[in-house]
Every structure is written in structure tokens, then in C-alpha cells.
Structure 1
Amino acid sequence: MQLTDPQRLDWLRLIRTEGIGPRSFRSLINRFGGAAAALEALPDLSRRQGRRIEPFSRAQAEDEIAALARLGGRLLATGEATYPRLLQLTDAAPPLIALRGAPQILNRPSVALVGSRNASTAGLAFTERLARGLGEAGLVVVSGLARGIDARAHKATLQTGTIAVMAGGQDRIYPASHVGLVDAILGEGGAVLAEMPMGWEARGRDFPRRNRIISGLAYGTIVVEAARQSGSLITARYALEQNREVFAVPGSPLDPRAEGTNDLIRQGATLVADVDHVLDVIGPIIERGPDPDAAPARQRPDLAEQPDFWDEIDLEGRASLLNGGADPDLVFDAPVVEPDEPMDDRQKIIALLGPSPVGTDELARSAGVGARVVQTVLLELELDGRIERHGSGAVSLVSR
């Protein structure tokens, strides 16, 4: 299938109409035979629902397509040859997704690699090693452009292939400090995807929405560091729903950043301590191809149910908009903002330390500071009894 320009415009108008999500979009298309007919039927649906459903205007849709084109992007539709095949197999695949970059990378074999924004130096170092190994094995690495694990995964695979999935619109990169990373991804033949409209500032509910795209693009999802109740575990939950593999990197039981990953392993996720642990599982799946209807062949982690984070209209008129239960720690309707003040060097170094020993050179590289600054901060922490020194100059935080 290849949409004509008028059809693509109608698809955009329909999916941008308030209250219509991926599932209800598909239902409307199936019921009325196309987006144009579905748009014409919306007034009648409005009367049955007892509420006004105002279609996204043609002018708004044309403006969005033009703005995306000015950035060098375009909209891909489900069913088109360039649309990611693995993502299309999922239940709630975006009918349209905005692409900047190389479309051919979207259908190469890929693995998702996600984890903590507040990552430890050890976690970042292992992420880089793992991502490089996956890239050298021919796999594209997918992640969410966040700080910490995501950013390190993207940077490590710029030359072998990486896909970034954004929570906001293509012109609203979050965090703003990753504008340069996006440019590097595009410059090296990677791709940047966004489901949300141009001009859309990422909100709390948009990150779980984005996560089901990250997992849907990949044969499996690897979680490197994740606290309990973290967004990375939501990505793992979506991977399970999509009948994809889940992997987890073990961590110290003394580090809260490893609680979620250790739980995943205990519940059946594949333990990853080397790139071969991923390749041994993913390789046979790539050879035979994904089967969304196949029963899982291995034990799967039993993750708690998470709500859906996109609005749907009820075509049978039995319910109002589905807003889903919300994590009280997430402000779903507020834009996500970055901290006003960046961390100082001491705060950066402390945040990167954990119970696992790390070398001072790696610590300096991860913090982006000089070796002398690291040694000064470590001396202060040692005098305060907060770190322990190990052989070969490695250090770790003392658990309290």
C-alpha cells in the first residue's frame, strides 16, 4: 500500500482528532472503508456519543505536513513499505509516524536498549560495551533519547545504526541538550521517530506512549539499570505484550538503580552479562521472523499491569474517553521541563558512583570533567567516609 497525498492528509486529520487513538482509528477505517469517509461520519458519531467530536482541520494538517517537510521529515503510514514491519505487528501501532533520517534503517534487525536517566558509571560503561557489540553484530540499537543509558546507547552506535524515538514532536527535542545528539544520529544515517504532532512539548503521559514504540521496533528489549516503578519497566511490559524478548543486566543489590533489573531476572528475563547472551536468543528469532500470534517459548517476567496512555473514542457509545489509571508520581497533563540549574561537578560524580567499583578515568569521562577534578572530589568523599578504594584505582560508594 502507498497512500496518495490526499489520503495521507485525511489519515493525519483523523488520527489528530481529539479522542481518536490507534485502535479507534483502525476501527473507523475498517467500518467506513477509509479516513475520508470516517471524517464525514464523525458528526453522526458525535450525536450518538452525546459530545462534540471536532475533526482536525485540513489547514492544520497541511501546516503540520509542511512544517515537518521543512525539517526534512515525512509521515509514514501503516501498510507502506517504509513503515517499520515489526512495529506494524503490534496492537497499537501508530497509524502515522513522523520520520527524519534514513527509512531503510527502520526494517533492519534491531534491539531496544533502555535504562536509568540517573545511571551509574558502571552502567554507562557496560551500556557502551553492549551497544557496540550489538552494532558490530549487525543489529540496530533503538532507544528513547533520554539522558543516561539511552544517550550512551545512541552514541555508541552512531556508525553502526541507531533509532531514537521521541516523546514530543520532531521540532521539540527533549532534553534540549540532545539537539546535537539528534544531529549526529541523522548525520550518520540513523533515524529519529515521533508519533506526536509538530510543536508538541512532551508531557508525562507521552513517555509511556513512546515506550511501546521503542519495544515495538525491536526483537527484544534490554534493560540495563532501572529502579522499581521506572519507565524502563513500562518498556519491558510493552515488549511482553508484543511477544518480544526481555533482557536485563544484573546489578548490585545495594544499588536502587538495579532493583528493577534484578526483579526482571528473578521473574524470568534473560540475564545479560555479555553481548552473546543477547545474540544467542535474538539470532534464531531473526532467522525465522517474528510471529505475533505465537505462544511465548520461554518464561516471561510477570510485570504489573500499566494503563494505556492514549485516548480512544468508544465506537459503541458505551463509555467516554479512556484516560487510564495514572501513576501518582507522574504529572500527565503538564509539560516536562528540565531542571533550572545543572548539577555541579561534585553532584555529577556522586550521581555516577554506586556500589560497583569503577575506574577514575571512566568516572571522569562519564562526568565530562578532568581527572584532577575527579581526584579532588574523591578525596573529599573519602575523608567523609563515603567511598571505598579498590585495586587498580577503582572506587565505589559506601552503602549506608
Structure 2
Amino acid sequence: MHHCPAELEARLRLHCLPELGPRRFQRLLQAFGSASSALSAPASAWRSLGLPATCAEPRRSAAIRERASAALRWLEQPHRQLLMWDDPTYPALLGELHDAPPLLFVAGDPAALERPQLAMVGSRRASRPGLDTARAFARSLAGGGFAITSGLALGIDGAAHEGALEAGGATVAVLGTGLECLYPQRHAGLAARIVEQGGALVSELPLDCPPQASNFPRRNRIISGLSVGVLVVEASPSSGSLITARLAAEQGREVYAIPGSIHHPGARGCHQLIREGATLVESVEDVLQALRGWQRTSPATEAPMVDEHPLLSQLRAAPLTSEGLALACGLSIGEVLAALSELEIAGRVACEAGFWVHRAP
């Protein structure tokens, strides 16, 4: 869906309003039909939808207009994109969430979001073995065709991004700040390399949003929501990584955890997840086997092997997005992404500019 400049500017203004989260944003669009109409509606109409006055009052202010204008200027620069929840280019798996971000700012290549993504998360104060494990798993999984998704934090997140880059693979960093307020600053160089090597930086927050503790759990739902599964490498029981893992389970994603020594505090969070039903992982093949099992949970995907997979017949006819393939084959987007990951590892398909294409064996 192509939005006219006035509607784009109106959505950016709505997006900057305080206390206007994803569900309230979508409520306004559903009630008024467009962001432009919502902005021009009387405050009483907003109150009738259950929105507080603090949402409605600043919508016509000069400060809100300037922040929207700054975002439009940002979008004029190369490798900058804004994905909206009702656009066909919006990540299909993320779009299934009831609180899907209405806007996603992307720096880098948005096609990275179209690939099957596997999230890797863990402690910011990880041990050296934990960092090495994260890097090695990310290197292997990225080499096998997955985009590695994490949060650009210190520790396991950074190691996962680094491993993916070492393999020449794609990696996606979801920020808990605006893209113009990169955090932590120590990872500014890593963020630049992610963009340079075909990955993407992603945030639902206004570009100028600074680090705020409450925004990081919100960020975690995007990490898990973009991914077919979440691998927790090392985490204490109080780690934010466990929030990501539990969100993933609620979203119907696979959760994997790497066990460790009973004497190491960083292993306790992973052990707790395994007790709660996460798949115990000792090798990359454990992850791939679990994904294949997840793919086969639907009768529609139970019988075909790689050579006769229904996705291949669709792609022989024409390149398609993952969402287009799901519609054409009558499968869920999760099943399609899991199948595509296996087909890509087998060399039968490739993702080019956001479209999946057939590759002859």
C-alpha cells in the first residue's frame, strides 16, 4: 500500500504522541480510516475511544510537527526505510502479533527482514565460553541461511551479530532506542558494519528516543516476533533474555536453550527455560532438527521432501514474498519461513530483494 505524503506525515505525528502505543494507534486508524482524519478529529472523538487527554492535546503542537519533519528528512537519506503495519513489505511474522508495531524504522536493507530469522539472546555480562558459543552458533546458522536477530546489547547479543557477520550472513539488530540514539555507543562500529554488510537496524521508537528502561521489554517482543525461534545462550534467572524467551513461547515460536554448569550463575536461566519446556540445544543441528519438526506439525507440510516441496512449484512459476507463498500454499507464515530456511540450506531457493526465487539443484 502506497501512502501519500500527507498521510505519511500524519502517521509520523501520531507516532510521536505520548501514551499512544501500538493498540491505541491501530484503534485510531480503524475508527477514523486514516491518520490524517484522526489528527483533524475533535478531542471528544478521541476521548470516546478511551484515549487520555495527554494523547490528544499535543497532536497539533509545533514540537510534534518538527519531530515528524525530522523523520521525513531522515527517510530521504539512502538506506533508510519506514515499514508500516498495513504495507505488503511489513514483516509478515511480526504482523501476526496483536501489538505489532504500527511503524518500523529501518536503516540498512529491509530485505534482511524477509529472510527466515533466528533470534539469539543472552546475558550482557556473559562468560568468555558463553561469548564464544554464541559467536560459533551464529556463524554456523548464518552460514546456513538464517538471518541472526538480536538486540545489539553488550555480551551475547554483540557476539551473535559478530558471528553472523564473520560468516558473511545477514543480521538484524532491534534497538530499544530510536535509530538516531544508538545504544550502547560502544557498538556504534558494529551497527555500521551490520548495515554495510547487508543487514538492518530496526526500531519502532521515534528516531530521537533515548534509552529508557521500559522500552527494552517492548523491544524484546519485536526480536521474538520477527523470528521463527529464539535461542538463549547464557542467562541468569532475572535476565531480560528470559522475557524474550517467554514472549516467543506466547507468540507460538520455538524456544531453545543451551545448558551449562550447575555452578555457573549464567546457566540457571537456561536451565529454568529447559524445565519449562524449551528445547535443550548442544549443537546447531539440534536447532535445525527442532525447526524441521516444527515445520512438520501441520499435515499440509508432513509428506513432501525438499525435492517435491509445494513451495518449489510456486517459485518455479514466479518469485514470491514469504507472505505470498503462505497465501498461495495455504500455510501459516511460520511454516513457510521454516520450510524456506531448510530449502535455502539445501541450495534450492534464494532471497533476492525481498522475493524468494527457485534455484535448480
Q: Are 1:188 and 2:197 counterparts?
A: yes
Pick one of 250, 266, 275 that aligns with 2:259: 250
C-alpha change, 1:264 and 1:6, in structure 2 (3 Å) is same
Structure 1 residues 191 and 47, CA, compared in 2 at 3 Å: closer, same or farther?
A: closer
Structure-1 residue corresponding to 2:13: 13
What is the identity percentage for the equivalent residue pairs of Structure 1 and Structure 2?
41
Q: Which amino acid aligns with 1:40?
A: S
Moved more, 31-40 or 135-144: 31-40
**How far apart are the structure 2 equivalents of 1:58 and 1:97?**
19
Q: CA 1:37/1:164 → structure 2, altered by over 3 Å: closer, same or farther?
A: same
Report the aligned-residue RMSD: 2.1
Corresponding residue for residue 41 of structure 1: 41
Deviates more, 1:136-145 or 1:72-81: 72-81
- Among 140, 145, 170, the alignment partner of 2:147 is 140
Q: Structure 1 291/80 Cα, relative in aligned 2: closer, same or farther at 3 Å? A: same
Offset of residue 70 of structure 1:
4.0
What is the CA–CA distance in structure 2 between the aligned matches of 1:199 and 1:71, rounded to whole Å? 19
Aligned to 1:2: 2
- Cα distance 1:281–1:47, how it changes in 2: closer, same or farther (>3 A)? closer
TM-score normalised according to structure 2 size? 0.76
Alpha carbons of structure 1 residues 42 and 186: separation in structure 2 relative to 1, 3 Å: farther
Alignment-mate amino acid for residue 262 of structure 1: H
Give deviations 1:286-306, integer Å, cap 9, x for gaps. Answer: 685674899xxxxxxxxxxxx
Residue 248 of structure 1 and its aligned partner are, at CA, apart by 0.6
Does the alignment pair 1:204 with 2:213?
yes
Q: How does 1:6-155 map onto structure 2 within 5 Å?
A: 6-41=6-41, 43-45=43-45, 51-52=53-54, 53-54=56-57, 55=59, 57-70=64-77, 72-155=79-162
Rounded to whole Å, the distance in 1 between the matches of 2:92 and 2:139 is 24
> Relative to 1, partners in 2 of residues 1:291 and 1:240: Cα closer, same or farther, differing over 3 Å?
farther
Higher-Rg member (1/2): 1
Q: Does 1:239 align with 2:260?
A: no
User: Where in structure 1 are there 5+ consecutive unaligned residues?
Assistant: 295-400
Q: Between Structure 1 and Structure 2, which shows a larger proportion of helix residues?
A: 2
Indicate the residue corresponding to 1:178 in structure 2: 187
Gaps of 5+ in 2: 302-325, 336-361
Opposite residue 53 of structure 2, the aligned amino acid is R
Relative to the length of structure 1, the TM-score reads 0.69
Could you tell me which amino acid in structure 1 is paired with residue 234 of structure 2?
E
Q: Deviations over 1:200-254 (max 9, x none)?
A: 1111011111101100110001111111121101111211221111111111111
Q: How does 1:279-318 map to 2 (within 5 A)?
A: 279-283=288-292, 285=294, 291=332
1:362-373 paired onto structure 2 within 5 Å: none
| Counterparts of 1:42 and 1:214, CA distance in 2 | 36
Distance 1:188 1:11 in 2: 30
1:265 counterpart letter in structure 2 = I
